[in-house]
Amino acid sequence: MMNGTIVDLKEVSKIYPMGELPVSALSKVTMSIKNSEYIAIMGPSGSGKSTLLNILGGVDQPSHGEVYLGGVKIDNLPEKALLSARRKTVSYIFQEARLLSSLTAIENVMLPLAFYSSQKAGSKPRDRAQAMLEKVGLGKRSAHQPHQLSGGEAQRVSIARALMNDPLLVLADEPTGNLDSRTGEEIMGLFQQLNSEGLTIVMVTHDPQKASHARRVIRLKDGEIVEDVINHKFTICEV
Amino acid sequence: MKIYQVALKEIGKRKMRTIYTSFGIAVAVSMLISVMITASSGQKEVFNVIARYGHSLTIQPVDTKSGQSLKNFGIGTGSYIPETALPAILEVYQTAIVAGWEKMGALIFQEGTIGGAAFPPPTFAPRLYEETTIKGKDVIVGGVVLEKELIARFWWDIAEGKFMEKDDEVIIGRLFATMTQTKVGDLLDVGSTKMTVTGILRETDSPDDYMVFTSLKTCQTLFNKQGKISMINVRAMCPKCPVGEAAVEINKKVLGVRATSQMEIATAQSQIFQKTTALIVSFVVASLIISCIGVFNIIMGAIHGRMREIGLLKALGASKNQLIRFFMYEAILIGITGGIIGFALGSALSHIVGPILFKDIVIQVTPRFLVIAVLLGTLASIVASIYPALYASKIRITEAFKSL
């Protein structure tokens, strides 16, 4: 990782073959994400936000260009090596919390350990999961089942789950899309808190209000970056 | 948190689906297990009979006169073996059997034992056949020594009434009873003597069905054939006695008689039984395959309904192999559940079907069948789950992400 850079995209394009007329989802995108950044990616539907997020996280391969994740060139990596690079670097937060209803809150937080365990998470997994729940303000709800949690609480559990393996980068796809505005602001406040502690966050959102909490805003249109600015109007959540 | 723990928790959440899927396997396993238990117990019954009675010989006079069809069954009248010849025939038989054992390499430590194990002496069941007319029908009267007859013809059974006990009593075959409308308690004119019918034999699909039986002594007296017999049925009373050797020796050394070995009968019975069992098992295996297809459909359908879960597990870092393992753990648990239910159902079924198929069967359910049922259920479940699990593992993560 050079100069604290977590992800580096160089001239990245993504073309989907759709019959005789291939669709270009991303076009020659060049960007870097540095450690401890909090980035909001905005743009209308079909602008390539999700494709960009997938390429940043190494779950999709670009058609052209180079992608470096945690210092490793991943755009041509075989599947196993790509999975290994992804596990060590990236965590996801989705629009819905997507907790397994058969598991308690703390078990959901520990779920990534079933597949991969980082050094930090490996030694005392339950203690770490409890610490992550406390970090998101749900220390006393660890034994609750998902159906006993509110939407905001469930999303907090999914954030704790994303932090479990100590990722370099958290990718959040519309993380407040299914929450009411107050709960959404609470989650934004949590993101700011985690970012202030050094966590790198990239968030896709439609909502300018939510984007205003990020320190850097990237706007996409027709697969191209049309704006990449430091958010001087950066606001602290008041919730 | 381990993958199997997650799989167990997921199964615990989907109890009804698990039971439903397990039941598909359980039905097929229960059929297979019931066939196996019944066949195994029935086989033991056949082996017990073979072990108890062994092979048999029929000894007749060489010039037995009778219709060709009856002669084939060893029934002939008009030619006799003197009863006094019996000890000599028995001696030839015993000598030949011992020689036969020695030829086969058996160790004979003392008379009446093979390799140190005792075996009972053979049963010689003599019969006298005489033709007569009863109720206007030509019929053969058979004189028998009842206690020997019941050993030699162990399939004999009384359908109505009881076996004869006195000299003026007879039992009759089912066909004769029907054709002459004779019932238990009726009096029959046998020769010049009135005799009471004490019982009707259960049908055996043999000439016995159209015969009248009385004691050997009575028959000899009625037809003035004292000291004469028409044939001897010999039961070896040991499972592998070389009766073929005995037949050859009797034919060589005892003039005027013809000994025929029937040693293949019991073996043939056993082989037919095994072939029938194999046929039934093959049908049941086919049903197991069909139920595998059913389970496959259920699991495949469930996978389509669990795309979000698969997407989540992939997003959390699950590899292809880990996802396959996740679904295999589920399959194994479903298979074990199906196997246990199948074992319980199969055992119950064999207790119902067994006694219908085999008289006096003792159904023996051993832990071996539980192990087989669980293994079969698990195997069926795994086979049915392999493709769905591979399919789930190959779902592209970007496709799975769309569901999240």
First to last CA, chain B: 22
At B254 the pLDDT is 86
Chain A CB contacts of B13 under 8 Å are 101-102
Q: What distance in Å separates the CA atoms of residue B374 and residue A33, rounded to the nearest whole number?
A: 54
At B68 the pLDDT is 45
Interface of A with B (CB under 8 A): 50, 54, 59-60, 79-80, 83, 86-87, 92, 94-96, 98, 100-103, 107, 110-116, 125, 161, 165, 173
Among the partner-chain residues A60, A79, A92, the one whose CB lies closest to the CB of B398 is A60
Q: Is the pLDDT of residue A202 over 90?
A: yes
ipTM, two decimals: 0.87
Among the partner-chain residues B10, B308, B316, the one whose CB lies closest to the CB of A115 is B316
Chain B CB contacts of A161 under 8 Å are 316
CB contact under 8 A, A59 and B398: yes
Q: What distance in Å separates the CA atoms of residue B150 and residue B207, rounded to the nearest whole number?
A: 16
To the nearest whole Å, the CA of A213 is away from the closest chain B CA by 24
Most confident of A186-190, B198-202, B313-317: B198-202
pLDDT (tens digit per residue) in B107-147: 555 555 555 555 667 889 999 999 899 998 889 999 999 99
Chain A CB contacts of B2 under 8 Å are 114
CATH superfamily of A5-230: P-loop containing nucleotide triphosphate hydrolases (3.40.50.300)
- Domain boundaries of chain B, sorted by first residue: 3-46+269-402, 56-262
Give the type of residue at B322: Q
- Give the least confident one: A130-139, B55-64, B196-205: B55-64
Q: B343 vs A85, which has greater pLDDT?
A: B343
**Could you tell me if B317 lies within 8 Å of chain A, comparing CB atoms?**
yes
Model confidence, pTM: 0.64
At B298 the pLDDT is 77
Q: Where are the beta strands (DSSP E) in B135-192?
A: 137-144, 158-161, 169-172, 187-190
Mean pLDDT calculated for residue range A136-153 = 90
CB contact under 8 A, B3 and A111: no
Mean pLDDT calculated for residue range B352-364 = 78
Q: How confident is the model at residue B69 (pLDDT cuts 50, 70, 90)?
A: very low
Looking at residue A12, what DSSP letter applies?
E
* pLDDT > 70 in chain A, percent: 95
At B401 the pLDDT is 66
Which phi and psi (to 5°) does residue B188 adopt?
-120, 145
**Could you tell me if B15 lies within 8 Å of chain A, comparing CB atoms?**
no
Among the partner-chain residues A87, A101, A114, the one whose CB lies closest to the CB of B6 is A114
To the nearest whole Å, the CA of A94 is away from the closest chain B CA by 7
Give the type of residue at B30: S
At A32 the pLDDT is 93
Q: What distance in Å separates the CA atoms of residue A53 and residue A171, rounded to the nearest whole number?
A: 7
Mean pLDDT calculated for residue range A117-141 = 83
Q: Which residues are bridge partners to B132 per DSSP?
A: B139
Burial B83-101 (b: 16+ CB within 10 A, else e): bebeeebbebbeebbbebb
Mean pLDDT calculated for residue range B317-336 = 90
Q: How confident is the model at residue B106 (pLDDT cuts 50, 70, 90)?
A: low
- Domain boundaries of chain A, sorted by first residue: 5-230
Mean pLDDT calculated for residue range B304-331 = 86
Q: B138 vs A20, which has greater pLDDT?
A: B138
